Amino acid sequence: MTKADLVDQVTAIGDLTRRDGEVIVDTLFDAVIGALKSGDKIEIRGFGSFRTRQRNARTGRNPKTGAKVDVPAKRVPFFKPSKELRDSVNPNGAVKSSPKKADTDNVDPHHPPAM
């Protein structure tokens, strides 16, 4: 979904003009960006929370040349979805992979497993 699609949905829900829908969407995004810039967190019940996380300085590598590059410390935006949002995306719950067990049913008599 693009920003234009979101504006279209907002204008379709209410009896609004396209310009009013753009103002609403822009105001929401500006509020989220402004709060994150000032170090605040935003929590929208039933949707999730936005906050910033601190990343430490590190030494990276240029993938093209392999040269070492110093990457400075920085704050990055982070979104944590609410339980309701996660459950609506995964209605049957998270599918956990079962641990692999040894195939004892298919043992080759000529090549027994190593002990």
Q: How far apart are CA 8 and CA 18, in angstroms?
A: 7
Domain count, the chain: 2
Tell whether 80 and 61 lie within a shared domain: yes
Within a domain: 104: no
Q: How far apart are CA 37 and CA 111, in angstroms?
A: 63
Within a domain: 23: yes
CATH code at 75?
A: 4.10.520.10
Tell whether 72 and 53 lie within a shared domain: yes
pLDDT tens digit at each of 115 positions of the chain? 999 999 999 999 888 899 999 999 999 999 999 999 999 999 999 999 999 999 999 999 999 999 999 999 999 999 999 999 999 998 887 666 655 555 555 666 666 666 5
Tell whether 21 and 49 lie within a shared domain: no
Domain carrying residue 77: 42-92
Within a domain: 100: no
Decide: pTM greater than 0.85.
no
Q: How far apart are CA 81 and CA 24, in angstroms?
A: 22
Under a CB-based contact definition with an 8 Å cutoff, are residues 72 and 35 in contact? Answer: no
